[in-house]
Amino acid sequence: MARTPDSAESHSTGPVTGRPTNSTPRGRMEPTWGGDATDNAHPTPQANAANAANAANAANAANAANAAEDDTTGAGNANGGGPRPVDVFRALHHGRSPDDPLVLPGPWDAASARAFVTAGFPALATPGAGVAASLGYEDGRTPPAEMFAAVTRIVRAVRPLGVPVSADIDDGYGLPAAELVERLLGTGAIGCNLDDSGPGKVLKDPRRHADWLAEIRASAGDRLFLNARVDTFVRGVPDVGAAIERALLYEAAGADCVYPIGAPPAALPVMRAGGVKGPVNMVASAAGPANVLRDGFRELGELGATRITFGPGLLLRTTTALTDLGRSLL
């Protein structure tokens, strides 16, 4: 049986091992070198033509890069005519084998996002608590403007590499649905987590929350992947039936995925039997050896989980490692 952390919202964590590669990392350009100055003192007509072609190619590449950077709507396409990032992200949640759930690490800044992409992950999902900690705030206390700015930086770091990013934006900060969608798409994110408990960590009325989710879906259309968090297990309501009720309401409102944070693994087959048909997100501990973690992911998948996230766990394990490194240098 897969272990659940003592606290689903703040738990010790561990890094996911990357897969080594012998190829040049994506997004990195190897330098090219020309001859010495005397080679170019009297260029031939062929050299002039080659230089002109190189300049044109460089201009085209720059224009393409600028277009990709300028496209921060989440609905656009920086892949040269390929599928939209949101479609790529949505597809990752479907057609998976039960023993192969989608594992999404949670970057807290641009550097960690790049590291996870270099390790080989196809998509990322920011943790609200992790981003808050990186900005010096307690979980749930990040001002909206700072959270959206942080998400923008993370997206900017990996978007040229074709990696979609979903963002944890807490409970939506009380913003009207249309404004929330506009601001989220403005970061370049292609999806979001939305809590169903608000200030004071009080559970929201499930039907009113479902109505709000439906407004977000109507405003966003298919441009955002909505991961609706179900907070019953972390708010003192361990009844699986209560979680099923909320999950079904949120699915009906247009959520792409439901996230019963803190649910024990045994709740997964009960939720599936209770009618939850779409993707289900589970939080996993990031503490322990990588092989043990991977076994835990597989067990959660076989019980009914579609995707695995870590909350702030990977940040906590990283900061522990940095502390140990710092002590070793004293």
pLDDT given for residue 199 in this prediction: 85
Residue 283 lies in a domain: yes
| Rounded CA separation 44/21 (Å) | 41
The set of residues, in sequence order, having a beta carbon less than 8 Å from that of 253 and lying 6+ positions away, is: 210, 211, 213, 214, 217, 228
Residue 41 lies in a domain: no
Distances (CA, A) of 50 to 33, 37, 46, 58, 276: 15, 17, 6, 12, 61
Token pair belonging to 208? 């009113």
319 is in which domain, residue-wise?
A: 85-329
Beta-bridge partner residues of 308 = 103, 282
Residue 265 lies in a domain: yes
Number of domains into which the chain is organized:
1
How crowded is residue 327: how many other Cβ atoms within 10 Å of its Cβ?
Answer: 8
| Rounded CA separation 307/124 (Å) | 12
| Rounded CA separation 233/7 (Å) | 11
| Rounded CA separation 45/58 (Å) | 20
Residue 209 lies in a domain: yes
Residue 194 lies in a domain: yes
Distances (CA, A) of 139 to 127, 167, 193: 10, 14, 14
Give me the CATH number covering residue 285. Answer: 3.20.20.60
pLDDT given for residue 80 in this prediction: 60
Phi, psi of 140 (to 5 degrees): 85, 0
Q: What is the CA radius of gyration of the chain?
A: 22
Residue 7 lies in a domain: no
The set of residues, in sequence order, having a beta carbon less than 8 Å from that of 314 and lying 6+ positions away, is: 13, 14, 15, 16, 105, 106, 112, 130, 286
Buried/exposed code over 99-113 (b: 16+ C-beta within 10 A; e: otherwise): eebbbbbbbbbbebb
Token pair belonging to 74? 């989440």
Residue 128 lies in a domain: yes
The single residue listed with the structure tokens 């597809």 is 91
pLDDT given for residue 93 in this prediction: 99
SS (H, E, C) the chain: CCCCCCCCCCCCCCCCCCCCCCCCCCCCCCCCCCCCHHHHCCCCHHHHHHHHHHHHHHHHHHHHHHHHHHCCCCCCCCCCCCCCHHHHHHHCCCCCCCCCCEECCCCCCHHHHHHHHHHCCCCEECCHHHHHHHHCCCCCCCCHHHHHHHHHHHHHHHHHHCCCEEEECCCCCCCCHHHHHHHHHHCCCCEEEECCECHHHCECCHHHHHHHHHHHHHHHCCCCEEEEECCHHHCCCCCHHHHHHHHHHHHHCCCCEEECCCCCCCHHHHHHHCCCCCCEEEECCCCCCHHHHHHHHHHHHHHCCCEEECCCHHHHHHHHHHHHHHHHHC
**Claim: this prediction has a pTM higher than 0.75:** yes
Instruction: Walk along the chain (330 residues) and give the pLDDT tens digit of each residue.
Output: 444 443 444 433 333 333 333 333 333 333 322 333 333 333 443 444 444 444 444 444 344 334 444 444 555 454 567 899 999 999 999 999 999 999 999 999 999 999 999 999 999 999 999 999 999 999 999 999 999 999 999 999 999 999 999 999 999 999 999 999 999 999 999 999 999 998 889 999 999 999 999 999 999 999 999 999 999 999 999 999 999 999 999 999 999 999 999 999 999 999 999 999 999 999 999 999 999 999 999 999 999 999 999 999 999 999 999 999 999 999
Beta-bridge partner residues of 194 = 228
Residue 37 lies in a domain: no
